[in-house]
């Protein structure tokens, strides 16, 4: 009986760890770059952030709310984490759980930021938070924090 309980506990832990890793994807920049240049009928709101960035954390509810409010429209909110160091994946997972984040999360694990920052936007100094909003007709980059009203206003320039 104790053995069966132990097996069930192990199964539960392994399942929990497996589901944890499925809540986000880890990309290098070559994998992320196509997502920054899609030419379909969707408007993309791509936020670059990190769990250690206070302005990023403060604006995160705006991105979460934008995702929830526009989920039925052709708008994709994607959160690209620039976290690094020890246990960054579990740190991001815990952050996402704590803040009930619903948008897709991608972890950009590519230390060659001097190469890829300009490919995201020549305007980007590399500071975060930073947000790229684009669709097939228009592209704008913002190196700033947003509240919900400001973010939605920028989005409406793309979808109206």
DSSP 89-143: HHHHHHHHHHTT--SEEEEE--S-HHHHHHHH-TT--S-SSEEEEE-SS-EEEE-
pLDDT digits (tens, 9 = 90+) for 29-51: 999 999 999 999 999 999 999 99
**Does residue 129 have a cis peptide bond before it, meaning omega lies within 30 degrees of 0?**
yes
The pLDDT > 90 percentage for the chain reads: 73
Mean pLDDT lowest for which of 22-26, 32-36, 70-74, 112-116?
Answer: 22-26
| Cα 83 from Cα 24, distance rounded (Å) | 13
The band of 60, judged by pLDDT with boundaries at 50, 70 and 90, is very high
- Superfamily name and number for 25-159: Glutaredoxin (3.40.30.10)
Average pLDDT for 137-156: 97
- Extract the tokens encoding 96: 């996402």
Q: Domain map of the chain by residue range?
A: 25-159
Per-residue confidence (pLDDT) for residue 15, from 0 to 100: 40
Model pTM greater than 0.75? yes
**Ramachandran assignment for 123, one of left (phi > 0), alpha (psi -120 to 50 degrees), beta (any other):** alpha
């Amino acid at each position: 009986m104790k053995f069966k309980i132990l097996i069930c506990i192990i199964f539960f832990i392994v399942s929990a760890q497996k589901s944890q890793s499925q809540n986000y994807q880890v990309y290098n920049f070559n994998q992320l770059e196509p997502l920054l240049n899609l030419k379909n009928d969707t408007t993309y709101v791509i936020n670059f952030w990190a769990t250690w960035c206070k302005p990023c954390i403060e604006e995160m509810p705006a991105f979460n709310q934008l995702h929830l409010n526009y989920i039925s429209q052709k708008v994709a909110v994607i959160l690209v984490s620039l976290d690094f160091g020890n246990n960054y994946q579990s740190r991001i997972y815990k952050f996402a759980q704590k803040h009930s984040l619903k948008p897709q999360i991608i972890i950009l694990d590519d230390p060659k930021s001097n190469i890829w920052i300009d490919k995201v936007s020549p305007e980007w100094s590399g500071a975060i938070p930073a947000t790229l909003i684009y669709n097939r007709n228009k592209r704008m980059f913002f190196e700033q924090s947003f509240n919900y009203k400001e973010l939605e206003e920028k989005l409406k320039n793309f979808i109206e």
